[in-house]
Amino acid sequence: MPAIVFDRYGFTYAGATKPSLEEISLTIEEGETVLLAGSSGSGKSTLLRSLNGLIPHMYHGKTLGRVNVNGFDVSTTSPTELATKIGFLFQNPENQIFMFSVRRDVAFGPENLGLPQEQIRNRVEEALTLMNITDLADRAPHELSEGQKQRVALAGVLAMKPKILVLDEPLSLLDPKTAVMLVEFLTEIKRRMPLTLLIVEHRLELLANLLDRMVVLHQGRILGDGPLRDVIASDEIRPAGVRIPAIVRLRAMLEKNGLRFDSSPISTGELVVQLGDLDVD
Ligand SMILES: Nc1ncnc2c1ncn2[C@@H]1O[C@H](COP(=O)(O)OP(=O)(O)OP(=O)(O)O)[C@@H](O)[C@H]1O
Ligand SMILES: [Mg+2]
């Protein structure tokens, strides 16, 4: 069963004159890692809200078509029930951390599910270990660095054991070193469990090795969808104004000058390796 299905889906916020999403048909298979890109106002957050049930249960408006998460129709499933299938990590962990200690915070979700104490304890320990924050367990979240807070928030989401994880600009508040670390954690989590990941993020270079696929939104519609390296280098997504990594632009320039590459490098490291393989006189 696919993790996520949008079937000719459309949404217009109550009072708005035009739809924020139109004719969205998109299937994401279990285990895929997908980047959702598009300029400001293209509909990314609206699409994410349509997955966790904020639309239509909190934000009202006119809906067309349907959205399924793990086979459940979002319009007839409560947000609480959806929270066990799909976890969300937002840009600002402050919005997700509010208890007096890290351990209490990570336990909050599983406690709300009404699980037995023993199971809650196990889930919390597992999530703390996975995010390498066991030593922070008794600290107050407000004493932590941005990167540590982000890991606490992610541990809280993982303790719900969702099969799908949605990340809305998870790296934008982090310094480069911490951002690289978070990506390493995500890579490790993916290695250990068959998570489906949907990520909105502008700092593409950092995620290049994690992503399988890229979906580009433009004015509420899908403008591009396919393997990351094909979509990012394609002309069809130019109108969307997605920031193209410098490496991808550099490659295009080098190709104009007669160089040929085996695959599409996205990071500096990949470009250097490929240039090393080329016969450049
Ligand atoms: N609560 C709302 N009520 C009415 N219109 C909204 C609401 N939220 C978003 N919109 C409109 O829907 C469209 C898509 O907005 P959305 O927030 O989904 O874009 P986005 O891609 O997430 O942008 P950003 O990159 O700035 O976060 C925009 O035209 C926006 O003005
Ligand atoms: Mg948004």
Structural domain boundaries of the chain? 4-243, 245-281
Radius of gyration of the chain, Cα coordinates, nearest whole angstrom:
20
Mean pLDDT of 268-274: 77
Tokens matching residue 245: 């990594």
Q: At what angle do helices 102-112 and 117-130 cross, to 10 degrees?
A: 130
Of all ligands present, the nearest one to the C-alpha of 40 is: 1
Average pLDDT of the chain to the nearest whole number? 90
Which residue, 74, 3, 19, 14, is CA-closest to 217? Answer: 19
Residue nearest to atom 29 of ligand 1 (CA): 41
220 Cα–ligand 1 center, Å: 9
Q: Does domain 4-243 have CATH number 3.40.50.300?
A: yes
Q: Is the CB of 16 under 6 A from ligand 1?
A: yes
Which pLDDT does position 64 carry in this prediction?
Answer: 98
Q: Is the pLDDT of residue 280 over 60?
A: no
41 C-beta closer than 6 A to ligand 1 = yes
Q: From the CB of 19, is ligand 1 less than 6 Å away?
A: no
In this predicted model, which residue has the larger pLDDT, 172 or 237?
A: 237
- Cβ–ligand 1 distance for 43 under 6 Å, the answer yes
Interatomic CA distance for residues 190 and 137, integer angstroms? 23
Tokens of residue 106, six digits:
């990570």
Tell me how far the alpha carbon of residue 46 lies from the centroid of ligand 1, in angstroms: 6
pTM across the whole model: 0.88
